[in-house]
Amino acid sequence: MIRVGKIVATHGVQGAVIMTHIVGASNWMTKGQALMVEMQKDSYIPYFVADFKPSGEDEYQLTLEDMDQVESAKRLIKKNVFINEDVLAVHAKKSPLLWIGFQVTDVNQGIIGVIDDVMQTAQQWLGKIMHQEKEVLIPLIPQMIKDVNIKTKRIIMELPEGLLEVYTS
């Protein structure tokens, strides 16, 4: 599963919710789709989309099946939402925000670490990785990325020689 967003508010009195997302496009949601809501750490409950309406590029207004009271919807506020990686296979390869938790492997040096966070600068995306007990920022640019595997949550890269040594020396 891939984390796609968070329930941020209720909408109206019929149990609808507002979900922000990090997919970068608003054409991936479908009726009947299962959203896995993380109620507690590593404990997910499926909610099925009865209806939805995009509210810009990074937000949906959702009506969930069997949720018809605002009191029930309030329990979901501030909860992370995950979906099956197959749903986002096309989008995930293009959106570095979805790569949090992916393992980065360099073609020459092997496993570098897991992406803890992703930041956008004016020029590019950067992945924050702990490598040899130091925080390393890796440019997530197409020229260095050889493969993004959604199923295994791995990114194969060809990092420039000396990039990691800047942090470890």
One domain, residues 9 and 86? yes
One domain, residues 69 and 112? no
One domain, residues 86 and 129? no
One domain, residues 86 and 7? yes
One domain, residues 21 and 74? yes
Helix (H) or strand (E) holding 161: none
Instruction: Find, among 49, 44, 76, the residue nearest to 62 by Cα.
Output: 49
Given 28, 63, 91, the domain boundary residue is 91
Range of the domain at 140: 96-168
Alpha helices (runs of H) in 14-120, residue ranges in sequence order: 70-74, 89-92
Considering the entire predicted model, what is its pTM? Answer: 0.62
Number of helical H runs and strand E runs in the chain: 3, 12
Q: What total number of domains does the chain contain?
A: 2
What pLDDT digit, counting tens, does each position of 109-160 carry?
899 999 998 888 877 889 999 988 888 899 998 899 999 888 888 999 999 8
Q: What CATH number did the domain enclosing 140 receive? A: 2.30.30.240
Instruction: Find, among 90, 136, 85, the residue nearest to 114 by Cα.
Output: 136
